[in-house]
Structure formats: structure tokens, C-alpha cells
A = this chain, B = another copy of it.
Amino acid sequence: MAMAQVRDVAALAGVSPATVSNALNHPHRVSARTLAKVQAAIEELGYVRNDAARQLRAGSNPAVGMIVLDAANPYFTDVAHGAEQHLAELGRPLLLGNSAQREEQELTYLRLFDEQRVAGVLIAPVGDVLPKLRTLKDHGTSVVIIDRKAGADEFSSVSVNDEQGGWLVADHLIDQGARRIAVIGGPGSLRQVRHRLHGTQQRADRTDGATVEFLDTGAMDTASGRETVQRLLERPRDEWPEAIFATNDLVALGALQVLARAGVEVPGEIMLAGYDDIEFAASATIPITSVRQPSEEMGRQAAELLRQAIEDPAAAVQHTVFQPELMVRESTSAH
């Protein structure tokens, strides 16, 4: 509890508190002799700066807050990792929050970041957070949106062309002979889900007899995938889809578990595709066809756009759109 303060350091070093502060924050303003004395005093007392006081006086918090949809999804840990690396280079700590696809959690973190007056926020949104993001901007916090272009006029963004991703999957499935396609994922309100579904539908519309059915899983995790496919298999055999397209790989893995347990042959009886191309999709019991997104690169780019927005809040917003890539594996191609 013997918390040393600047004044203790100053006293021990035989200088003023202002000089200690300068030694800490603007070392070039201080003579080498003084700097050495101050550093020795800091060392001896084990002085650790009080961040709250520094922030209050300096009027800014260098940290960046990030909110992801699911901290347990390797796709998001990769995006976060990319962002963290770039931010570390900029000397900005990253505070990571997990909304777990819950609007309430999302708002809790946004409020926390607002109260902390962080320099910037990176967010993959669940709910309609635009009003809250505008508030943050009003308060001097820059914002970059990950995974969607909504609010396009106001905030820079990094995203992947999800409609094209859906199209690529549908094109492949139809090419493999599937006509009845079930798209599973959710909640349906999630932009990613809507766009991937839309792309699938658009491709299906081009082929006679191709139909798309959407089953809302409610969430994007393995448990939700299991439950949904469980229900699907309770239908009469001739009402099963020929292919299941899960809007992310966790849902696909859950689906695969249920299909395997039920003895359904993949891809023989039902083809299965996922999205995100997480490592575990390629390592699954039956390797899963998926859509690759440059996750780490997306995180880096989001951090870079944020850097630019922080540097010049009046600058024009920018949108980086990455292209998805289909990774074909055993779950859809019987060879």
C-alpha cells in the first residue's frame, strides 16, 4: 500500500514533480543527469504511474476498445489478433469485449468504452448501435465497423463481400448436383447471415428447380447447429435437403456432429458447407468446405483505418472490402 507518487519520486530525486512528469513523458526536455536521477528514484520506490490521473489531466485515453460477436469463434480471435498486433505497434492497448451476439452486452461494453473515453472503438455489431456510435463520435471517440457497411456515410469499415461468399457456396453445391439447399444460421437479423443467404438465393434463382430454405439457428455456435440439424432430420427422409450451408463453421461443425451420429453420409446423402474457414473446419471428421476470409488482415486493416480516423477525425470515411475464397473439401465433393 506504500503507493509511491510523483511527489515522492520528485523528493527522492531532488527535483520538482513537473520535472518527474517531463522525464516520464518528454525525456528529451530533461537533462541526462536529471533523467538518470529520476529513473533511479522511480526504480527505488517502485513507482507506477496512476493512469486515471494521467488520463484525466491529459484529457485522452490512448487505448482502443474492441467488441466481437463471439470471443470463442476462432474467426474473431484471428481478427482481434490482427488488430492487436497493429495497435501494439502504435502503442495502443486493446481492450477486448465479447458481445456474445447479445445487444445488452454490446451496449454495456459501448458504455464502458464511452466512460473510459477510449481513443477508438472497433466493433462487429449485433444490434442497431448506430445511435450509440454517433454518441461516441460526438465524444471524440473514432469508430471503425467490422463486417458491415451500414452507417457507411459516417464510419469507416472493413468487410468481406458476403453476398459473393453465399453465391460461391451455392454455385459449388449446385454444380455438385444439389438442388434443395438449406441455409442454417442466425439470428436472421444478423447482416452476415442475411447477405450470405441472399447470395445463395440469387445463385439458386438461376437454376431451374434449385430452392433455398432458411432455418434460423438463433445463434452461431455448435450447439445451435446441432439443435437445428437435429430437428431437420426428424422430417421424413424425402424432405431432407440435399445440401446444408451453415453460415459459419461452428454451426457447420455442430451440424456435422449430428449428421455423423445419425449415420447420415456426408456428402453422399447430404452435402455440408460452412463459412470462415477456421482451422478446425479443415481438421473435422469430414473436412468441411468453407469460405475463407482474410481474418488477421481484416483486423490489421480495421486498426489501420482507426488510426487514420483518430489522426484526422474530419477525414473522409473509407471502406475496405475483401473478397471471399471458396475452399472445397470432402464434405461437398464425393469424388
| Residues of A in contact with B (beta carbons under 8 Å apart) | 1-3, 46, 48-56, 61, 71-72, 74, 77-78, 80-81, 84, 93, 95-96, 98, 111-112, 114-117, 135, 138-140, 222, 253, 256-257, 279-280, 283-287
Could you tell me the distance between the alpha carbons of A78 and B71 in the complex, rounded to whole angstroms?
9
Partner of A52 from the list B78, B116, B257 (CB cut-off 8 Å) is B116
In the complex, which residues of chain B have a beta carbon less than 8 angstroms from the beta carbon of A84? 98
Asked if A3 and B55 sit within 8 Å, CB to CB, the answer is no
Q: How many identical chains are in the complex?
A: 2
- Note all chain B residues with C-beta closer than 8 A to A116: 51-52
With a cutoff of 8 Å between Cβ atoms, the chain B residues found around residue A285 in the complex are 283-287
Chain B residues whose CB sits within 8 angstroms of the CB of A55 once the complex forms: 52
Which residues on the B side are within 8 Å of A139 (C-beta)? 1, 3, 48
* Sample of 14 more A-B contacts, CB < 8 Å, known A48-B114, A222-B279, A284-B284: A46-B135, A48-B115, A48-B135, A50-B117, A52-B55, A71-B81, A72-B74, A72-B78, A81-B98, A95-B95, A96-B96, A283-B284, A285-B285, A285-B287
Question: Are A77 and B71 within 8 A (Cβ)?
Answer: yes
| Cβ contacts under 8 Å, A284 to chain B | 280, 283-285
Interface centre among A50, A78, A80, A140 (most CB of B within 10 A): A50
Query: What are 24 pairs between A and B in contact, CB < 8 Å?
Result: A1-B140, A2-B138, A48-B111, A48-B114, A48-B135, A49-B115, A50-B56, A51-B116, A52-B53, A52-B55, A52-B116, A52-B117, A56-B56, A71-B80, A71-B81, A72-B78, A93-B112, A95-B96, A257-B283, A280-B283, A280-B284, A285-B285, A285-B286, A285-B287
A55 to B48, alpha carbons, bound, how many Å? 16
- A110 to B: closest C-beta gap in Å: 10
A222 CA / B61 CA spacing, docked (Å) = 36
Shortest Cβ gap from A96 to chain B (Å): 5
C-alpha gap A280/B74 in the complex (Å): 11
Q: Which residues of B contact A52 (CB under 8 A)?
A: 51-53, 55-56, 61, 116-117
A114 / chain B contacts, CB cutoff of 8 Å: 48
Enumerate chain B residues within 8 angstroms of A54, measured Cβ to Cβ: 115
CA distance A244 to B108 in the complex (A): 45
Tell me which residues across on chain B come within 8 A of A111, comparing CB atoms.
Answer: 48
- Name the B residues within 8 Å of A53 (CB-CB): 52, 56
A115 to B111: give the CA distance in the assembly, Å. 22
Expressed in whole angstroms, the minimum distance between the Cβ of A222 and any Cβ of chain B is 6
Report chain B residues within 8 Å CB of A115: 48-51, 54
The 8 Å CB contact of A72, one of B61, B81, B98, B222, is B81
The 10 nearest A-B residue pairs measured at CB: A52-B55, A51-B115, A280-B280, A52-B56, A72-B77, A52-B52, A51-B116, A48-B114, A96-B96, A53-B56
